[in-house]
Structure 1
Amino acid sequence: MKSVFVINDNTVEARHVAESALMMAKTINAKLIIGNRLIKSTKSALSYAFHQSEAFEEDTYGDETLLRRLNLLNTTIKGELTDIEEVDISSMDSHKLSAFINAHNVTLLMISTETVKAISGRKLIDYQTILNKISAPIFLIPASWSFKKFRSITYITDLRYCRTDVLSYLTKVTLPFNTNIYVGHMAASGLPDLSPDFAKQVFYEAARRCTHWEHLNFHHIHSKDISTVADVLIHGMSNDALVLINHSQHYHYFIGKQLMLNQPELINVPLLLYPH
């Protein structure tokens, strides 16, 4: 059975991600795996990933363990119960954790932008190393983000390097949301742009090789200015998430060579970071 994986370092950010991960797992019919790093939190407040009913007042559940809270939400939220499993990863470094993720059919690793590098004792989790080694994408969630239906997402790439495996993954994982998936063609630096007609031809040839290709759309990004591109995609087109390929030129524009947002003020939607 496919699974969604979350790393719990007992921070507010981890709790926020875990609640969103439960909603994601429930929607795509996956198991939720919580990897515990057993860090004592210095923050007492809980962050809620979606709007709560009066039954979930923070004062009532603020001292509950994460697993107990997730089990409570699991039984209350509409839909079939999601299997939730806890594992101890406190002794794992980035390499061992990557091997664990690959061995457990993880389809998505969800983390917070606030904790792309989380310290447990003296052990450092390097998420760039993990992304380099795992076969599943990382879903990077802003602290201000609340789980919602994905109406529109854009995969940013140069069409000459557009990957049909990424398109197939996106169409499958977003099928329950009936998401409109855009391939945002942005010519790589040093290469001439494609003519509009040729770009559309390349897109359709790639799209037709994918299941549920009817959800795929095309957008030609002409600007080379990252702040302009982010503004158009996020605010102009109202994308609910952006997709980047690890080690690609576009990844370096937004993320950098290591998994640290270059310009975090520009990004207020999740980023799906797909392995190279």
Structure 2
Amino acid sequence: MKSVFVINDNSVEARSVAESALMFAKSIHARLVIGSRGVKSASMELAPVVDDIDDEHHIDEHLFHYLNVLNIHTAGEETEIVETDISDLDNSALATFINHNNIGMVIVPAGNIDDAKLDMQIVLNKISVPMLMLPANWQYKDIQRLTYITDLRWCRTDVLGYLSKLTLPNKTDLFVGHVAASGIPDLDEDFAKQIFFEAAKRCGNHQQLNFHHIKSGDIATVADVLIHGMKNDALVLINHSAHYGYFVGKKLSLNHPELISVPLLLYPN
């Protein structure tokens, strides 16, 4: 079973992200792994922290116990939750941990993890799985519409294949949103459609793929079209792509937080 991974740095943001991560893990039948900073366990083995809860309605201050109670009392099949100590891990060691523990997705807040040892942009550069970045005050909801933002001249069929498999069980509407890279002439409408259909045919489940041509390079206009016009529940960006810098800052925080109110799925290079 693949796992969803979150970091607990004892912040309010971490608690909110962990709640959303649990709901997401339940929806895709994945395990939830909590990497805690400051928990002094005996080893780095993936083993749950064991402690009985006398009252099933009691919410413990400890995030692990709180999530177990939430797991029981929310809709959907219960998922396994494990906690492990990552206090001593730096960027490289954390990336290695993620890559070697069957983790399928990392979920983080839109802002720095509160730890001088970790720069999540560096971690993203080193891992082989996507990272889902949640904006502040985002409340979990099922993702019904998802758009991969790219210039079709550099559209990656491996990403389309991954997204098709990710979204198929929940019948999510999946779009490719073509936005011409800065400084490059836009594609003719018919030629853009031709490139899209050729790319779609090379990935699985291409019948669920849709195409949208966004004829603007202005970030405010693009964000408005994608979020309010198309009503996307999340957006997909490739790490270090031409469009990544429009939305994401160097420290894995939103460049324009006032414009982005939906999660960003950041796919590795």
Q: Same fold (TM over 0.5)?
A: yes
Distance 2:144 2:27 in 1: 14
Higher mean displacement: 67-76 or 239-248: 67-76
Over the aligned positions, Cα root-mean-square deviation in angstroms equals 1.8
1:82 Cα deviation from its structure 2 partner: 0.6
Q: Map 1:6-25 to 2 at 5 A.
A: 6-25=6-25
Q: Say which of 59, 63, 84 aligns to 2:81.
A: 84
Match of 1:97, as an amino acid? Answer: L
Distance 1:259 1:241 in 2: 16
1:112 Cα deviation from its structure 2 partner: 0.9
Unmatched 5+ stretches in structure 2: 40-55
1:183-218 deviation digits (Å, cap 9, x = unpaired) = 000111232211111111111111112222122100
1:118 Cα deviation from its structure 2 partner: 2.0
SS in 2 for 1:168: helix
Distance 1:155 1:170 in 2: 9
Q: Map 1:112-127 to 2 at 5 A.
A: 112-113=109-110, 116-120=111-115, 123-127=116-120
Distance 2:249 2:76 in 1: 39
Give the corresponding residue for 1:192.
Answer: 185
Q: Map 1:201-212 to 2 at 5 A.
A: 201-212=194-205
Contact 1:145 1:268 in 2 (8 A): yes
SS in 1 for 2:162: helix
Q: Map 1:132-151 to 2 at 5 A.
A: 132-151=125-144
Give the corresponding residue for 1:239.
Answer: 232
Contact 1:17 1:141 in 2 (8 A): yes
Give the corresponding residue for 2:48.
Answer: none
Give the corresponding residue for 2:98.
Answer: 101
Give the corresponding residue for 2:217.
Answer: 224
Q: Which has the higher helix share?
A: 1
1:143 Cα deviation from its structure 2 partner: 2.1
SS in 1 for 2:95: helix
Q: Map 1:4-43 to 2 at 5 A.
A: 4-38=4-38
- Give the ranges of 4+ consecutive aligned residues of structure 1 lying more than 3 Å apart after TM superposition: none
Match of 1:65, as an amino acid? Answer: H
Contact 1:3 1:107 in 2 (8 A): yes
Structure 1 residue 253 and structure 2 residue 252: aligned? Answer: no
SS in 2 for 1:234: helix
Higher mean displacement: 237-246 or 203-212: 203-212
Give the corresponding residue for 1:65.
Answer: 62
Match of 1:222, as an amino acid? Answer: K
Give the corresponding residue for 1:51.
Answer: none
Match of 2:193, as an amino acid? Answer: K
Sequence identity percentage: 60
Give the corresponding residue for 2:43.
Answer: none
1:119 Cα deviation from its structure 2 partner: 3.0
Match of 1:245, as an amino acid? Answer: I
Contact 2:237 2:244 in 1 (8 A): yes
Distance 1:81 1:225 in 2: 43
SS in 2 for 1:243: strand
Unmatched 5+ stretches in structure 1: 40-55
Contact 1:182 1:217 in 2 (8 A): yes
Distance 1:11 1:258 in 2: 18
Give the corresponding residue for 2:145.
Answer: 152
Matched positions, count: 254
1:173 Cα deviation from its structure 2 partner: 1.5
Structure 1 residue 128 and structure 2 residue 111: aligned? Answer: no
Distance 1:138 1:106 in 2: 11
SS in 1 for 2:118: strand
1:258 Cα deviation from its structure 2 partner: 4.0
Distance 1:184 1:153 in 2: 10
Distance 2:62 2:73 in 1: 17
1:257 Cα deviation from its structure 2 partner: 4.0
So what's the TM-score if we normalise by structure 1? 0.87
Match of 2:185, as an amino acid? Answer: P
Contact 1:118 1:124 in 2 (8 A): no
